A and B are shown apart, each in its own frame.
Chain A
Amino acid sequence: MHIHDIIIDLFLGKSPGQLPLSVWVQVIRVLRYQQCLARIGWRLQDSGLATELPVYALNHLKNADLIAQKQYHQVHYEAMLLQRQLQPLTSHLLFLKGAAYSLNDDSAVGRGRTYSDIDLLVDRKSLPVIEKELCLYGFVAEDLDEYDQKYYREWSHEIPPLRHGSRGTLLDIHHNLLPLITGRAPDISLFFRHTRQTNAGYTVFSPAAMFLHSTVHLILSEEIKHGFRDITDLYLIIEQYQNNDFWQELVSLSIESGFAIEVFLALRYLEKILSLQVPVAVHQKLSTYRPSEFRLRSLDFIFLRKLKPAHPSFGNHSDVVADWLLLLRGHYLKMPLHILLKHLGRKFYLQAVSAVFGSNFLDKKTENHRNK
């Protein structure tokens, strides 16, 4: 049995039978890399499989659970401060992605979920005043070169990340779901109509819009490191919130915002990898968005590799090819050709410099500049 299949079974609450300790070592290693240790921990508790685990696995799961709990409390604290400081400055203040999972009441996808930054969605108009206000509260922008500044300000859907000087909290402030340069950034007011308030008064996307946003991110990304975490995010949203209204809202919003193909693909991989049951009616409505057989085959090649519980040490050549295809596809989808060529040219230049002079050559150089 392949390590992928064992991990998928564990997630779905199916006993993989007695596993030798050496297999548990691999399972834990892959899950840690995928940032899914705490998630698998509670899934095993809930399905009753936790009683069969060796001490080795229990120890690592316990550690991960404690780390996740701590982050859960921390994000509530940060959200309280942000809400208080920013609410008066913008007509919309939404928590997105990881932070939204945690803030949503009793959400399964938020349980044990860890992430490295807090993502917010606000009105584009209010960005300058929000940026100034956050500066007063100790959030400062990371040092960026001119090219990156230009990228953020002109092409992106967010401002450069802000870090809190003492707490280290990293903030990503967005005004849209996708970079403007992609030509695929949706009319954001559409999404502002699909929100809900948590009991504590935070605004997050409705489950269907949340699913759609996470899907868009996953299917259009140029690099997937934690693919299994991302696909299980989607699985848990559906498992908890699916009903007729959810599916209807998802289908209509995805068509309206132009992301029906992405939703088609996400549901396809949820079925193929995690055996999710998608209602026939949903299939029918999305069937017109099915890519051609040839495209679908190459997409399967990429995503069936990248969304399984992968780890670079256990990969092979076709995983490397999948990474490259994903990088090219992600960029191709997100940038007009002339900008894409310029952007890739710069990326390759940086890679070439690293290859010749060592991976930290460029870090050093910035230090020297500062010294002058």
Chain B
Amino acid sequence: MTLDVKYLNLPPFCFEIQTDIEKVIRNLQHIYADAFQDSAIAPDYFLTLKSGSGLRKYLRPQARFLADQHEPFKPIDALNGFALLEWGMNWCIATQEMRFVIVHAAVLAKDGKAVLFPAPPGSGKSTLTAWLAFHGWRLLSDEMALIVPGTNTVIPFVRPICLKNQSIHLAKKWFPTAKFSSIAKNTHKGDVIHLSPPIDSWQQNTTSAQIIAIVFPRYIKEQSLEVTVLNQAQAFMALAENAFNFSLAGNEGFQTIVKLVETCQNYEATYSTVAELAEFLEQDVLPNAHP
């Protein structure tokens, strides 16, 4: 079967996408809209998502992900192909783009001031991200903060927000008119869905922002907002743990993280109501930003 060749223009990167899986193409069109293009000048990564070979194709179809000729993951159910492609794109950036210090974190900004939300899975980070992005904040990134070494500057890498399990229903209830991908069921992360952020996040996807705060969110059921100020050592350790390429970026990466925790407000926040946390961010964190 021939593969369709298309492009995802997602500043600061451009991906060539070849796929023969109809459902993946429909998801790409729906979620990425104008960023999903027929031509591109300079693709950085060459990705293929194809249905597995042989009889398998007809019995239990699989999707295989290839970055150029390399296959970093095992194939998964073809119905979950779009999620595999999203993870594949993350993999490319996390393993190749060493010119940025990459932190596993969501980044949202208001008035050019960005807050970094580094967090392990299960902390409610993506639900928080989705809520903020649809309540006046600009999404720069849901999974990876691309930080210019030696600065507080974060480069947007606008992609859909990846929501898991219970938060899928929550998000659909909160944002009934938003664009959701199809649900990928029973993946290694459970059920996942991808949510396209609002139009203004897409429109400003080449506008960088300055990181002014680092907030480690932790969702705990029925708990009212509790904010702890982290000292610089605590913040450093917590941030370094979430840095994808901390060791790769070497001394420059280390210096960047040090500078970030020295110049930012650093908090840990446990919450159950997103609105409450948002209020804290808007009233206490943003106005206190160092210039």
Contact = CB atoms under 8 A, between A and B. Distances in A.
A48 B240 CA distance: 37
Q: A-side binding surface: helix, strand, loop or mixed?
A: helix
B56 A66 contact: no
Given A25-B43, A360-B62, A363-B74, A66 B98 contact: yes
Q: B-side binding surface: helix, strand, loop or mixed?
A: loop
Interface stretch (A3-11, A57-65, A142-150, A153-161): A57-65
A355 interface: yes
Interface in B56-86: 56-57, 62, 64, 68-69, 74-75
B98 A62 contact: yes
Nearest to A59: B99
B250 A358 contact: no
A318 B249 CA distance: 42
B55 interface: yes
Contacts of A62: 98-99
B1 interface: no
B99 A63 contact: yes
Interface in A318-369: 354-361, 363
A73 B43 CA distance: 31
Contacts of B250: 66, 69-70, 73
Nearest to B248: A70
A358 to B, nearest CB: 3
Interface in A7-29: 21-22, 24-25, 29
Contact of A361 (B41, B54, B99, B248): B54
Contact of A358 (B44, B57, B99, B247): B57
Interface string B84-125: 000000000000111100000000000000000000000000
Interface string A280-324: 000000000000000000000000000000001100000000000
The contact size tier of chain A is 20 to 34
B178 interface: no
A347 B139 CA distance: 51
B131 interface: no
A53 to B, nearest CB: 13
B14 to A, nearest CB: 10
A32 interface: yes
B42 interface: yes
A191 interface: no
A41 to B, nearest CB: 12
B219 interface: no
A217 B173 CA distance: 61
Contacts of B96: 63, 67
B187 interface: no
B66 to A, nearest CB: 11
A278 B72 CA distance: 41
A317 to B, nearest CB: 18
A73 B130 CA distance: 40
B46 interface: yes
A60 B44 CA distance: 8
A22 B41 CA distance: 7
B52 interface: yes
B98 A354 contact: no
A56 interface: yes
B68 A360 contact: no
A56 B43 CA distance: 9
Contact of B53 (A33, A73, A312, A355): A355
B250 to A, nearest CB: 7
A356 B54 contact: yes
Interface in B2-44: 41-44
B52 A360 contact: yes
Nearest to B43: A25
A29 B70 CA distance: 12
A60 B247 CA distance: 19
B248 A360 contact: no
Nearest to A359: B53
A138 to B, nearest CB: 19
Contacts of B54: 354-359, 361
A198 to B, nearest CB: 22
A259 B207 CA distance: 60
Contact of A359 (B44, B52, B98): B52
Contacts of B64: 359
Contacts of B52: 358-360
A63 B55 CA distance: 40
Given A62-B99, A67-B248, A363-B74, 19 more contacts: A21-B41, A29-B68, A33-B69, A56-B42, A63-B98, A67-B96, A70-B248, A73-B250, A312-B69, A354-B53, A356-B55, A358-B52, A358-B62, A359-B52, A360-B52, A360-B56, A360-B62, A360-B75, A361-B54
29 contacts: A22-B42, A24-B42, A33-B68, A56-B42, A56-B44, A59-B44, A66-B98, A66-B248, A66-B249, A67-B96, A67-B98, A67-B248, A70-B98, A70-B247, A70-B250, A73-B250, A313-B46, A354-B53, A354-B54, A355-B53, A356-B55, A358-B53, A358-B54, A358-B57, A358-B62, A359-B53, A359-B54, A360-B62, A360-B74
Closest 5 CB pairs of A and B: A358-B56, A66-B98, A358-B54, A358-B52, A70-B248
Interface of A: 21-22, 24-25, 29, 32-33, 56, 59-60, 62-63, 66-67, 69-70, 73, 312-313, 354-361, 363
